[in-house]
Amino acid sequence: DTEVTQTPKHLVMGMTNKKSLKCEQHMGHRAMYWYKQKAKKPPELMFVYSYEKLSINESVPSRFSPECPNSSLLNLHLHALQPEDSALYLCASSPLGGGRAGNEQFFGPGTRLTVL
């Protein structure tokens, strides 16, 4: 299995809802990432987990809460979002170790989130 999967593909939520995005990989990768991408802009890094521990939080508002239950799974819990949080949320993973090739990131298809 050489892909990163994300569910759901699309999500529409109100500002008072609580929802979660899910990301899964079975490549044995030890780093996982959440990115936010607005239309016609590059992805912006939100969080990095290395060996299941949060290693980078790019000053993301607390209404976004990441979780890494195990080395294959990464969740992003959403609560009290704002309309400006509407975007494509991308998950990625990378092997780590193994020299420079360990830094290559493999991206999932993303979840397109709309906040009403």
Query: Contact residues for another protein (CB under 8 A)?
Result: 31, 40-43, 45, 48, 50, 56, 88, 90, 94, 96, 99-110
* Residue 78 or 94 having the CB closest to another protein: 94
* Residue 79 or 109 having the CB closest to another protein: 109
User: Beta strands 31-37 and 87-94: pairing type?
Assistant: antiparallel
d(CA 50, CA 31): 4
* Residue 7 or 82 having the CB closest to another protein: 7
Report, in Å, the least distance between residue 31 CB and another protein: 6
Beta carbons of 115 and 81 less than 8 angstroms apart: yes
Beta carbons of 31 and 72 less than 8 angstroms apart: no
Report, in Å, the least distance between residue 69 CB and another protein: 21
Beta carbons of 80 and 16 less than 8 angstroms apart: yes
Report, in Å, the least distance between residue 8 CB and another protein: 14
